[in-house]
Structures are given as C-alpha cells and as structure tokens.
Amino acid sequence: MTAVMTQVRRPGLRHPLRRILSTVTAVGLLGTALIGAAPAAAAADVQSKQWYLNAMHAEEIWKTATGKGIKVAVIDTGVNPSTASLKGQVEKGRDLTGTEGEATDDYEGHGTTMAELIAGKGRGGLRGLAPDAKIIPFRVVDLELEERMGAAKVNTWSIRDAIRAAAESDADIINVSFGVDIPVSDDEEAVEYALKKGKLFFAAAGNNAKEGNKANYPASYPAAVSVAAMGPDGEVADYSQHGEFVDLAAPGDSIPSWCDTTFTRYCDGDGGTSAASALASASAALIWSAHPDWTANQVLRVMLESAGRGKDGDKKTLSEYYGYGVVRPGAHINRGIGKPGDPDIHPLTNKKSGPGAAEEQKQSPLPEDSASPSPKAPDGKPGAEAAVAGSEEKAGGGSLGIMLGGVAAAAALAGGVLFVVRRRRGA
C-alpha cells in the first residue's frame, strides 16, 4: 500500500500545487492583543472579540451546562497546556507525528487555539464555550513539519492513527479542524471506527470555496459532521466550502487566535471553519454534559433539530451553505428544543451506530427502510432523499435568518431556491 500524505496544512500556505487545505483563513492580521504585561486587560480585550458568546447567550447556558464530565479529543498540531486559559484543562494525549515531541508540544499554535475555543477558562486568554470540558490532544503531521523534517522522518498516516487512537481513548467527542481535498479510505474507515466506539465526530468543512470549492475530508465522509463557518452578520462566510456535505454551521469569522508558538499574543482575523468545528464540538459538549446518559447519536440529533434555520426555514430543506442551520446549544438547554430519539441510530446515515453496532449488523443487517426517520429524512424516507438548497442561495454564504439563542441574524432564505437531491448521506 502506498502511503498518502494527509497532513494538516499551516495557515497561509496556498501553493496551487499543494492539495493540503488551509486550516485557518489567512485574511491578514488586523491587530494583536498582547499577553504578559497586563494579562487581565489582555484577556478582557481578546474576550470582547468573542462576539458569539453573547449571541449564543453563553452565560445563561452555563447556569445549566458547562461541559463538565465531557472530554474532547483535539486532533491537530498539538495543544500547549501551559497557557493561562488551559491550565488544568488538558489531559494526557498522544503524539502521532513520528517525530520527537509530545502531544502537548504545539508546533504551530493552531491546536492550542482550538482547545481554548472549546474548553478555555478565560484566565488571560480565550474563553471556551464549554469551559468545564477536558481536552485530550492528538498531534498529527502539518505540511510545514513534513517539509522541515522530510517525508521519511514523519508518520504519513498520522491522521488515520490519531482518529483511531482518539476512538480508543476516553474522549466523547473528536474534533478535526483541518482537511485534505481527496478522500483516503484508511481515514474514512478510522472515522467509521470512531462512530462504532460511540464517539461524536466533527470536522471543518474547509476554507477554499473561492479556490475550487472541492469537497474537504474528513468533513465529507458520511459519518462525519461537517461544519461551515459564519460571521457576526449571520451569513456563512464566502470562503467556507459548501455543498451537500455540509451539516451544520457555527461561528468562525472575526475570532482571535494565537499568533505563533511563542504564545505571547493573540492575532485578530478569521478562525475559519477550523474555529467553527471547534465551537460545534463545544456545543455538543454542553448538550452532552446536560444529558450524560445520552449517546452520541442523541446529542447530534438534538443539535440538528435545534439548529437555527430562520423564520421561513424548513426542517426538511437542507442548505448547501449551512446544512441544518447554525448550532444553538441554548435552544435545547434553555428551551428544550430537539428530541434525542433513537440512541442507536446515527441521524445522518440512518444506520446503527455505537458500541457493538458492527457485530450486531453482521448478525442482523438493518434494512434501509426500517431505519427510524431522522431530521434529514423527510416523509420517512432515508436520509439520502432529503432535499438541499442549491445554487440560487446567496453566494456569500446564503442568508441564514437564524437566531443564535435569540439574537437575530440576517434575512431568511429567499424564495425560489433550486433544490437538488442530497446523495451523500445514507449511501
């Protein structure tokens, strides 16, 4: 078998011959927030730019759920556990790069940012949406690392190995804030394995909508939850990749991140679909901590049913830009929107999913037409038959008309959209 290079690509590398996708939209650094001399002031400054916390009514959510008891595997460039915001939040992980180093050695800064967006305490830095969740880091190969070390010195199957390691870990949720533009069968099998182990898997939809808008992996694998990025205006970002593979949208625009590996300052800019995936994972952690007896399938089903679609939104209509809608953990936690449903049926594939599912399916295969209906299955049909809003949506992201826990965004989807059959799911 020939090894396929599937590394995380560093932000800003956009060589036309490289197939590794950027994990952060490099739209330029609009400014920085210094950490060190005045940590309290710096923390207040960077947190003031986390616009989505107010939009999602995070303080109200935290009265009921904070992510306590939930662990999130962050498969990325490593996670620095020594930042002020992450002290005490990071558990032992694994380094899958094949190089010298540990999972807690972040060689780019990206993984640490994702971890803080999920579970940061906000002491001197970013405040996580699920501040009492725990992080388990799994370090994988970045394109920069591979070029610096040489292909012969790194693990070319680090993504596959990390997903499988995360599936075997104590993590409840797996977050992958990067992607490649070709499918890799070993990686897809690893994602499916994670689901069989009862994990909930989120991945960034990709930031290259303006550069071909090719499907992004692992986000485009049927078992993965693909997350697009939206901004404060309520619209999906024009760089956010779109298509029938998109399942949800989450905040991604105008979110600060660590500038570099010195971890001394945050830079303004766009977190892109990387941040969106992390915040979707955090949203899942909030819901799961409120219902610790639920399965991954039930948590995801509630996320899909409670997603913001706008006043004219149709739950049977899927958007190529934001899927079911924008994540709204508060809609369920504070208002009870969304029902958990069947604990053993994955709401995107309508197939048995969870511990022991593989063995059970071998003994008694589940007929397609016997799967319980999911939000993605109008009129009781399999998920693959659901319609998806297509090319007539606004190219800049499709007007969402959503509400993040009560804060109105842009206007609702305009009428006259083109509908196409969604083929990805249930295949």
pLDDT at 43: 63
Q: Is the pLDDT of residue 396 over 80?
A: no
Q: Is the pLDDT of residue 214 over 80?
A: yes
pLDDT at 100: 84
Domain that holds residue 368: 32-421
16 within some domain: no
pLDDT at 355: 83
Instruction: Enter the pTM of the model.
Output: 0.81
Total of domains in the chain: 1
In percent, the amount of the chain with pLDDT more than 90 equals 62
Q: Which of 273, 204, 262 is nearest to 237 (CA)?
A: 273
4 within some domain: no
pLDDT at 404: 61
Cα separation values, 25 from 22, 107, 250, 275, Å? 7, 18, 15, 10
Q: Is the pLDDT of residue 238 over 70?
A: yes
Clarify whether 274 is annotated catalytic.
yes
On whether the CB atoms of residues 232 and 254 are closer than 8 A, the answer is yes
86 within some domain: yes
Residues 248-270 have pLDDT tens digits of 999 999 999 999 999 999 999 88
In percent, the amount of the chain with pLDDT more than 70 equals 69
- Within 169-290, where are the H helices? 185-196, 272-290
53-81 mean pLDDT: 97
Per the prediction, the chain carries an average pLDDT of 78
19 within some domain: no
7-29 mean pLDDT: 31
3 within some domain: no
* CATH number, position 213: 3.40.50.200
70-93 mean pLDDT: 97
Clarify whether 110 is annotated catalytic.
yes
Rg over alpha carbons for the chain, rounded to the nearest Å, is 20
Under the banding of pLDDT at 50, 70 and 90, the label for residue 357 is low
Q: Which of 417, 419, 335 is nearest to 378 (CA)?
A: 419
Which one from 177, 240, 254, 274 is the annotated catalytic residue? 274
146-169 mean pLDDT: 86
Instruction: Classify residue 121 as left (phi > 0), alpha (psi -120 to 50) or beta.
Output: alpha
On whether the CB atoms of residues 237 and 251 are closer than 8 A, the answer is no
pLDDT at 230: 95
349 within some domain: yes
17 within some domain: no
Is there a cis peptide before residue 292, judged by omega within 30 degrees of 0?
A: no
Which one from 85, 105, 110, 142 is the annotated catalytic residue? 110
Under the banding of pLDDT at 50, 70 and 90, the label for residue 41 is low
Residues 175-205 have pLDDT tens digits of 999 998 889 999 999 999 999 999 999 999 9
Which one from 22, 57, 76, 106 is the annotated catalytic residue? 76
7 within some domain: no
Clarify whether 374 is annotated catalytic.
no
